[in-house]
Structure 1
């Protein structure tokens, strides 16, 4: 739901706090205490790939002072921010995106050198913000069926209201419950900082679970109000448990990449394309990726021109060039045509877009799977001139050479005994829209839909 679908809300929100936002002051608004523990890739029994740096995440640590929390909430709940940034994917959930473009406080807080030093120190690696549109993405759980109703429940002063919980809700287990606010996933960008802006006393759930190398889930307690956690979410698979027992839950998230040359940048736009303004996202994405490319090339050139002991190695240069070619290709592939995306989402729905991995797992167990997938890939009647066919052949050759594949779900060797299909390739690249299109063209979507309907009536 968008604000434009609610004309009555455009006349204003008289219940919003009319006081102007504060000017960010790190000596007043910050209350940083280093995290007591940092979780390493080794702790999680995960091997470190070219994508990863050693620190996988942190336990919660204090970041904002009480005044800082209220100043941030005041900045969020300005009428200008609500009118220009609010959307609601479903009742009870409010999303504020691009608030940084309408709030000086939010922009100054996340980009201030002191804040940048804090998140870098907590992560054990120098970080830089990915791009403006990924600063302060805010998710709000609160009561209400419309944007106006949800906004009406929000105040600058954090709510301390507790909700009565049933015995079933108190026994909530996010590892067994399919209603987790965000199921098992990898983030679109290498690092995230998740900051809590609500009181958590009485809250059940709200934790993050990280999947270890042995398949077990390690719990990281959710942050208290004013606290934050850092997570290398682009490299570790994690789950965000739904919060119960509180009237509101407000988290705000900023995404980063490592400011280190020769560290593979595992960014994708997959998770955000369906709800982002692509007219704004794609130019920012292009500038971000080209700056990274420029820095990588400059890093190599500086060594070649200024290091006295530099020795030209043809193999090293060829490796650098190959990496940058692949980087540019990934950059291009992530900019799916807005018209094409709109067409696919209208046909299959956003729910299917975000559920592609479960759909693919279900499809693989159907008796028609191998026949339909093989014939579609062999005949190439679907998008016959697409560059995706070249991508598929390159991945098949990578598998034949027993090398790992880089993907939206980490860097892993192909471990299945069956053939590698176009469906696998499109999911590897995070092209969920294109995957649904291929699935429909192959006939597998119809088979899946019939299977789903038959199971519902059992």
Structure 2
């Protein structure tokens, strides 16, 4: 018998406004058991980076009780949450952001010491929630062509209704299908916990695939209702397969960084800028980054107080200054002016924004590529007074010296025979909108667009 059949159908639009959401209680709402397996970076043939835990991810493990699932869904589908937090960043997908600002239950669940202990234990490192706006980010796959249509199809009770599948749908291969709910990508933040809030019996798809070091894909089964998986999503490339055969698929995600000083924080905001409230996002981003900076300086100060002779180690101090200067610079670079961001998104479109790396790969095959890219950089036809030209110069100097570069998709060494252009630099920093703007100014966009 399905454990959720006893639940009352409770469409959000008809929820009794006199009933408040529940108070989170780990004794009632949690039902945790440790993951049966932890997948290591070594097992995936992936190099260990300075930002990484030894653990790449876990198999699904129980986290919420059936009471916890119901309480979470009731909190999530409150009218105020849907009205304030819902958007549709991708076709057929409803996203809820900033839910912790509207729901005390969701905020308390994710920040409770017991929940934090569980996620830290799963990844084998102390973790901190990145920032409030990344608590409980929710992706919903449900019927409907618009935000209003999709929200009307949401109920507190997890639906058990199945969708009849064709033979073609049953043979669905997410590695070949372009309709994956989220294509191959790295997460914006080092670690994520993905929690399933829907029934998965009869579901085809819904798994996560991780790209191994040899280019093959490893499948990680999707979690059942009330179960979660941990993933080091900022370090491993992965995709989320679209679920077929069910009426809904609701997963909720919270992002983390390492709480250990001296551990590199690889976070960036490329993936979230197009559908986030930038004023709120930038405020929280700045506060969290400055707290990380304070932790690094305090850690070094404590070492100096314990070992005064460390002050005489100029190399150690120089390393601290260089790393924190770079960290502050990356913090600032991610905060593209909202007006510029909106102008470019309006000109090129949100879909094109997410296709920027793929577009760049195609553009490099154009006969006119070298001439136009070189001319644009030589003449500084794009934003001639921009600080990004200094960034480009610094990166070229690092390349000349054979040094590696930090990027949104990990650390890399430039091994191409051609020049390193501004397009490379902007994508390295995850500034997709500025990359598109540069591409348009260089003339490469028009040629690409005509051939596309």
CA distance in 2, matches of 1:22, 1:16: 14
What is the SS of the residue equivalent to 1:27? helix
Matches of 2:412 and 2:171, distance apart in 1: 35
Report deviation, 1:41: 1.2
Name the counterpart of 1:260. Answer: 260
Q: Which residue of 2 aligns with 1:6?
A: none
2 CA distance for matches of 1:380 and 1:395? 17
Matched, 1:14 2:13: yes
Per mean C-alpha deviation after superposition, the further-off stretch among 16-25 and 212-221 is: 16-25
Structure 1 contact 183–240 (Cα < 8 Å) conserved: yes
Deviates more, 1:105-114 or 1:41-50: 41-50
Q: Does 1:437 align with 2:437?
A: yes
Q: 1:156 maps to which residue? A: 156
Aligned positions of 1:416-455 closer than 5 A: 416-452=416-452
Q: CA–CA distance in 1 between the matches of 2:340 and 2:245?
A: 41
Return closer, same or farther for 1:418/1:297 CA change in 2, 3 Å cut-off: same
Q: 1:251: which partner in 2?
A: 251
- Rounded to whole Å, the distance in 2 between the matches of 1:114 and 1:236 is 27
In the alignment, which residue of structure 2 is the partner of 1:326? 326
Shift of 1:415: 2.7
> What residue is the counterpart of 2:5 in the other structure?
none
Unaligned regions of 5+ residues in structure 2, if any?
1-10
| Partner residue in 2 for 1:143 | 143
Deviation at 1:22, TM superposition (A): 0.8
CA contact (8 A) 2:186 2:236 kept: yes
CA-CA distance at 1:116 after TM superposition: 0.4
Measure how far apart 1:379 and its partner are.
1.0
Give the equivalent residue in structure 1 for 2:111. Answer: 111
Name the CA distance, whole Å, in 1 between partners of 2:142 and 2:95. 11
CA–CA distance in 2 between the matches of 1:14 and 1:343?
35
Distance 1:237 1:181 in 2: 15
2:251 aligned counterpart, secondary structure? strand
Cα distance, 1:211 vs. partner? 1.0
Rounded Cα–Cα distance in structure 1 between residues aligned with 2:112 and 2:326:
33
Report deviation, 1:419: 1.5
2:94 match: secondary structure: strand
SS in 2 for 1:274: helix
Whole-angstrom CA distance in 2 between matches of 1:142 and 1:165: 16
Listed as ranges, the matches of 1:164-243 within 5 Å are 164-243=164-243
* SS of the residue 1:141 aligns to: strand
Q: Is the 8 A contact 1:16 1:155 kept in 2?
A: no
SS at match of 2:397: helix
Cα deviation for residue 308 of structure 1 reads 7.2
Indicate the SS of the match to 2:14: coil
Distance in 2 (CA, whole Å) between partners of 1:30 and 1:331 is: 36
By how many angstroms is 1:56 displaced? 1.1
Quote the Cα distance in structure 2 between the aligned partners of 1:168 and 1:348: 34
Quickly say closer, same or farther: Cα 1:113–1:385, change in 2 above 3 A: same
Is the contact between residue 17 and residue 78 of structure 1 (CA under 8 Å) also seen in structure 2? no
Deviations 1:252-290 (A, max 9, x none): 000000000111100001110111001100010000000
Describe the superposition over 1:134-153 as per-residue Cα deviations: whole angstroms up to 9, x where unpaired.
00000111111233322222
Residue 4 of structure 2 aligns with which residue?
none
Tell me, yes or no, if the aligned pair for 2:12 and 2:78 is still in contact at 8 Å. Answer: no
Matches of 1:137 and 1:408 in 2, distance apart?
21
Count of residue pairs the alignment pairs up: 441
Instruction: Quote the residue 1:101 is aligned against.
Output: 101
Q: Is the 8 A contact 1:15 1:152 kept in 2?
A: no
Which deviates further from its counterpart, 409-418 or 258-267?
409-418
TM superposition shift of 1:393:
1.2
Q: Which moved more, 1:373-382 or 1:68-77?
A: 373-382
- The residue aligned with 2:33 is 33
TM alignment of 1:294-305, pairs within 5 A: 294-305=294-305
